[in-house]
């Protein structure tokens, strides 16, 4: 059943959302908190923070069950990691992204007025040879200014054995890196930076326990190796921006946002329709009208 959402810190928006009761029933870790001054400074200097508690151990099984149910919706032949924006079509994702504990962390970095524009699952099944090459997220997005913060919610434990994401600490302070196309069939993304541009002494694995999140800057170099283990590695990403950020709609005509907190004083970008039923994407960057 779905109900009208009543968030504890509501965004002032004309776009009412819905609550998925299963998602809303998830219990929050008693260790969830706000970012410390040291963590905010680490994000500025290193470009990431990790191991932030959100959901408690009792919620992890529900998150994992829901993931398996949603992955079963995806038609055969479609890679779940290559479709996105579930928040436009599935009430579980629409509700999870509004979790106050998650938004508290994001607000500490972006301030009181911010929206979400993206949401995706990244999956590596056991013995999955797929690789995410080192890249910068901002390379792919026609957003100005580039100020996206990505939340990576671990649905299962992510470690060095099962292909946890790796980042190059502090690389977000070095501007845009030169990317080139690599058509290696194992690559989940086609653009990468050359190995000569990567300071391997600064590579940090973003190991996470299920129910925890990491945060990273859109200019941070990151990637992930193959999953050589017998365990699944899966996470749900959420992309947040302050309201000053504007998309070039001539490049990205299906771009849509949904307010998370505060007010949208700029009104730069289209607003998506909230999902009223549970559906699934079949390609990248679908418009919300496709799911009505």
Model-wide pTM > 0.75: yes
| Tokens linked to 233 | 């590695």
Contact 162, 233 (CB under 8 A): yes
Largest CA distance in the chain: 53
Helix axes 100-110, 37-46, angle to 10 degrees: 60
Residue 163 to residues 207, 226, 238: CA-CA distances in angstroms? 9, 5, 19
Neighbouring residues of 41: CB distance < 8 A, sequence distance ≥ 6 = none
| Tokens linked to 199 | 């300071």
Contact 135, 180 (CB under 8 A): no
Rg (CA), the chain: 18
pLDDT at 26: 98
pLDDT at 83: 96
| Tokens linked to 197 | 């541009």
pLDDT at 15: 53
pLDDT at 9: 45
pLDDT at 18: 81
Residue 15 to residues 11, 55, 101, 192: CA-CA distances in angstroms? 9, 26, 22, 37
Q: How many CA atoms lie within 13 A of 276 on its CB side?
A: 7
Domains assigned to the chain: 2-8+17-278 (2.60.120.620)
Residue 6 to residues 87, 116, 142, 208: CA-CA distances in angstroms? 17, 17, 32, 30
Q: What is the mean pLDDT of each run of 10 residues along the chain (292 residues)?
A: 37 62 97 98 98 97 97 96 96 98 98 98 96 94 98 98 98 96 87 95 98 98 97 98 98 98 97 94 96 90
Provide the b/e sequence for 215-246 (b: ≥16 CB within 10 Å): bbbbbbbbbbbebebebbbbbbbbbbbbbbbb
């Amino acid at each position: 059943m779905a109900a009208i959402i009543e968030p504890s810190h509501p965004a002032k928006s004309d776009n009412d959302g819905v609550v998925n009761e299963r998602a809303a029933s998830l219990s929050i870790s008693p260790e969830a908190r706000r970012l410390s001054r040291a963590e905010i400074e680490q994000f500025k200097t290193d470009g990431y923070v990790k191991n932030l508690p959100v959901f408690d151990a009792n919620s992890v099984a529900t998150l994992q069950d829901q993931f398996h149910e949603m992955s079963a919706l995806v038609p055969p032949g479609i890679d779940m990691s290559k479709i996105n924006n579930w928040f436009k079509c599935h009430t579980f994702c629409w509700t999870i992204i509004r979790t106050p504990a998650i938004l508290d962390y994001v607000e500490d970095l972006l301030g009181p007025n911010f929206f979400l524009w993206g949401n995706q699952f990244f999956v590596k099944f056991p013995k999955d040879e797929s690789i995410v090459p080192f890249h910068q997220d901002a390379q792919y997005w026609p957003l100005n200014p580039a100020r996206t913060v990505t939340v990576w919610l671990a649905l299962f434990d992510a470690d060095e054995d099962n292909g946890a994401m790796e980042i190059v600490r502090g690389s977000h302070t070095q501007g845009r890196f030169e990317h080139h196309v690599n058509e290696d069939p194992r690559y989940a993304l086609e653009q990468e930076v050359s190995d000569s541009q990567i300071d391997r002494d600064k590579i940090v694995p973003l190991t996470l326990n299920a129910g925890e999140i990491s945060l990273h800057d859109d200019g941070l170099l990151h990637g992930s190796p193959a999953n050589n283990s017998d365990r699944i590695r899966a996470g749900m990403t959420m992309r947040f921006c302050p309201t000053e950020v504007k998309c070039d709609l001539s490049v990205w005509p299906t771009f849509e946002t949904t307010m998370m907190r505060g007010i949208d004083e700029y009104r730069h970008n289209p607003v998506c329709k909230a999902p009223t039923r549970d559906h699934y994407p079949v390609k990248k960057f679908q418009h919300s009208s496709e799911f009505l």
